[in-house]
Structure formats: structure tokens, C-alpha cells
Amino acid sequence: MLANIYFSYRSFTEELICVSEAIPSELPDEYRELSATVRDFAEQVVAPVSAQHDREHSFPYEVIAAMAELGLFGLPFPEEYGGMGGDYFALCLALEELAKVDQSVAITLEAGVSLGAMPIYRFGTEEQRQRWLPSLAAGTTLGAFGLTEPDAGSDAGRTRTAARLEGSPADGEWVINGAKQFITNSGTDITAFVTVTAVTGENERGKEISTIIVPSGTPGFTVAPPYDKVGWNASDTHGLSFDDVRVPAENLLGERGRGYANFLRILDEGRIAIAALSVGAAQGCVDEAVRYAKERQAFGTHIGGHQAIAFKIARMEARAQVARRAYYHAAALMLAGKPFKQEAAIAKLTAGEAAMDNARDATQVFGGNGFMNEYRVARHYRDSKILEIGEGTTEVQLMLIARGLGL
Ligand SMILES: Cc1cc2nc3c(=O)[nH]c(=O)nc-3n(C[C@H](O)[C@H](O)[C@H](O)COP(=O)(O)OP(=O)(O)OC[C@H]3O[C@@H](n4cnc5c(N)ncnc54)[C@H](O)[C@@H]3O)c2cc1C
């Protein structure tokens, strides 16, 4: 649907890619209704329990079940796999609304859909899709994406986890050894599997890296206790180890040797989703700051009456709007089937920085209250830092943009 908007604007502007009109109030009704529904859901169902889950570092199962009921985990998937028949932009809009209120809940959806289920949808065989997608799209199970390792993060091609095929590709087994770290949604009670990149041999380019689906509970597959994180406390993150883990040869996801390339494609898309989540965080900070600045009194007026505070919040709004346009633009290109790698990197860079900068400024607007965990802006302050790190650091985005410029 967004592709239609993209093309209609395009006809206005000849060859110019025009996104300046792509603002929330001009989106088609379905998108605006989706945003409004998720906004209400976030305030009524998510917000009341956010602080408690953050404080207790507990996974919000009841919220995830309600999101599943709403259909959020199935947004971009066709109905034949139990999805809602929407698109990736719809997912982005939902992430934006959830992240205004609670980034942990938003990242659980982002990682569940864009990193967990999407690789199965994009690269799985029909059998794999039929087996895994219906429950993933229903939100009754989660999949995790196992790329990062202790010695391979930004430079993910340094993967050391290895898998050797014993027997034939038809009825043999993969035997997997190695470790992954920082894997989202990998240890919940409803995690069905993790897809892992592993070295499966050598080819003309060096390491042959493939992707293999490892179901939860497979003997030798160990999920370490949760990390003690700075933020995203209600999201699920673990280190994983694989000690002679055996899975059927048919658990190969996508073509043998294409694992790394396929995961990079998933990360390109994922950056648009993370950018949307970051825009939500940035906008959530604006909304909170405006509300507080109208109420809080100092030196004979509300603090928003002091130009220093008003300008700070005006700059926050500008950051959020610019970043939103960046992710709309990247999403429009992706849905139109055009190259979008560089635009996704620009969106992720811009939005991650907007979230972090806005969280810092919103905390300043709140004064001492901003340093108290009970306030939403304090949670955004702790949560937002990872938006400049996860799914590719700021430096990695800059590398991608520079590469796009031929540098
Ligand atoms: C909460 C959380 C959830 C996560 N979820 C997942 C997940 O679900 N699945 C998954 O696979 N991974 C996940 N990650 C991992 C995340 O994607 C990585 O942490 C991230 O890509 C950075 O890798 P690294 O931590 O190894 O840092 P490193 O790669 O060691 O980087 C360290 C620093 O060096 C910089 N750097 C590295 N190379 C260059 C260069 N060439 N030029 C300039 N600077 C450079 C980096 O930008 C960074 O500032 C998660 C991480 C966290 C914290």
C-alpha cells in the first residue's frame, strides 16, 4: 500500500523521490487506523505495567499475549501463513506507537517478526514456512536470530560457530558447535527456535556460512541466564552455547553458503524497523516533555515559557520528524522493490541518534524527576543507548553510507 503512495507521489514529481508529503496525517486510512489502534493499546494495556516489568526485569508475557491477540505478530505476513496480510510498513507503524511507551515491548515485537519470523518467510522452504510461520504470526511462539558471537559482532563474518553435515543433505544431520551472544527472544517460555549462522565449509570466497534452525530444547543447546542490562529490562536477551547439537539436515534455512548474505538482507530491512522503533522513542520523549513543560512551574511561569526549554523541545520535535521521514522513505523504497540499503542505514543512524538525544534532553526538562526510574523519560534514557548499537552500530551505518558514496 505504501508502494502505491510512493508511486502516486512519484507521478507528481517525475523522477524525484518525493517523501515530503509522507506524513502521518496523509497516510491511507488503514495505516492511520492501525497507528491509532496500537497507540490506544500501548496506553491502555502496555503503559500500566511497563514500570513494574522494567523494575523486576520480567518478560511481559501477558502484554505479549494481548499483542498477539491484536494480530501484531502477523502484520507483514500473508493470510495463508496465519498473517494479517499487511506489509512491513504496517509493522513499522506499530513499532513506533509501542516504543513511545515501552521500548522493551517494541523490541520484542521487532525481533520476533523482523528477525525471528521474517528469515523463515523470506528464505524457508514451503515446508518450513508451513511448520513455523502460523504460530510465529499468531504470536504464540517466538523465533530468535543468532548472528552475534563473542568474537564476531560488527564484523559478523568472523563467525566461529561451526556446523558439519553428517550423512546426506536429504536425511543426514547437522552437528553444531559454538556460541552466540546477546540474542533477543532466545530464552522465553514461548521461544520455538533460534536460527544460527554457522561455518559449514569453505568456498572460493573463504568461509562458507549457512543458516540453520535450532529448535528450543535440542540436547546440547544451552541458554545462559539473562544479562544484567542497562535498559530494555523487560526484553529477553541471552548468550547461547552449542555443544554437539544435532538437528536434521532439512533444518538448513535458505541455500547452503548463503547464510551470511541472507542475514545481511534481513538486517537491512530490520534497520528500517529499528528506525521506526527509535522514532517512537524520540517522539515519546517529545510528548512527555511538552506535557511536563506546560505543567511544571519555575520563576513565575511554566517551564515551557522559558525559551531555553521551549527551544530544546522544538529541536527534539525536529529530530523526531526528520527521522520519521527517513524511515518512511526507506520503507517506501523497499516496498517499491527499489534498492534501499543506504536509505535504511541513514534512517537507522538518524533515528537512533534522535532517540538518544531526545531522551537526554527530555530528562533535562524533567530535572530531578527525570532521574527517577518511575518516570517514563528515565526509562527512555536508559533504553535508548542500545538504539545506537543494536542491528548495526552508528559506525557501521556510517560505513554503509560511505560505501554507498563509493568511499
Ligand atoms: C540488548 C541487545 C540485543 C541484541 N540482540 C541481538 C540479536 O537478537 N541477534 C544478534 O545476532 N545480535 C544481537 N545483538 C548484538 C548487536 O547487534 C551487537 O552488539 C552489535 O552489532 C555490535 O557488535 P559488538 O557488540 O560485537 O561490538 P563490536 O563489533 O565489538 O564494536 C565495538 C565498537 O567498535 C566499533 N567498530 C567496529 N568495527 C568498526 C569499524 N570498522 N570502523 C569503526 N568502528 C568500528 C563499533 O561501532 C563499536 O562502537 C544485541 C545486542 C544487545 C546489546
Q: Whose CA is nearest to atom 38 of ligand 1?
A: 154
Do 250 and 277 belong to one domain? no
Active site residues: 391
Does the pLDDT value for residue 18 go beyond 90? no
Tracing cell 523465533 back to the chain, one arrives at 143
Determine the structural domain holding residue 185 and report its residue range. 144-257
The single-letter code of the amino acid at 316 is M
**HEC sequence for 164-229:** EEECCCCCCEEEEEEEEEEEECCCCCCEEEEEEEEEEEEECCEEEEEEEEEECCCCCEEECCCCCC
The atom of ligand 1 lying closest to the CA of 386 is: 53
- CA nearest 253: which of 124, 166, 167, 148? 124
Does the pLDDT value for residue 4 go beyond 50? no
Q: What's 258's DSSP letter? A: -
Percent of the chain whose pLDDT exceeds 90: 92
Q: Mean pLDDT over residues 366-392, rounded? A: 97
Do 152 and 232 belong to one domain? yes
Tracing cell 510498513 back to the chain, one arrives at 89
Q: How many domains does the chain have?
A: 3
Q: How far apart are CA 229 and CA 384, in angstroms?
A: 12
Give the mutation target among 393, 395, 398, 403 for probing the ligand 1 site: most ligand atoms within 8 A of CB.
393
DSSP H helices, 42-87, are 47-56, 61-70
Residue where a domain terminates, one of 91, 125, 142: 142
C-alpha 390 to ligand 1 mean position (Å): 6
The pLDDT value given to residue 204: 84
C-alpha 392 to ligand 1 mean position (Å): 6
CA 145 to chain centre: 11
Give the mutation target among 147, 151, 154 for probing the ligand 1 site: most ligand atoms within 8 A of CB.
154
The pLDDT value given to residue 7: 37
Q: How far apart are CA 351 and CA 81, in angstroms?
A: 32
Do 173 and 207 belong to one domain? yes
What CATH number is attached to the domain comprising 212? 2.40.110.10
Protein residues whose CB sits closer than 6 Å to any atom of ligand 1? 111, 115, 145-148, 153-154, 182-184, 229, 232, 237, 386, 389-393, 395-396
Of the chain, the end-to-end C-alpha distance in Å amounts to 35
Residue where a domain terminates, one of 257, 287, 307: 257
Q: Mean pLDDT over residues 35-47, rounded? A: 98
Do 306 and 398 belong to one domain? yes
C-alpha 158 to ligand 1 mean position (Å): 13
* Band of pLDDT at residue 185, cut at 50, 70 and 90: very high
| pLDDT, the chain, mean | 94
Do 72 and 179 belong to one domain? no
Q: How many CB atoms lie within 10 A of CB 10?
A: 15
C-alpha 148 to ligand 1 mean position (Å): 8
Q: Whose CA is nearest to atom 12 of ligand 1?
A: 148
Do 25 and 127 belong to one domain? yes
Burial tier of 337 (Cβ tally within 10 Å: 0-12, 13-18, 19+): exposed
Q: Whose CA is nearest to atom 16 of ligand 1?
A: 390
Query: 360, 31 in Cβ contact below 8 A?
Result: no
Do 330 and 355 belong to one domain? yes
Do 138 and 270 belong to one domain? no
Q: How far apart are CA 307 and CA 277, in angstroms?
A: 29
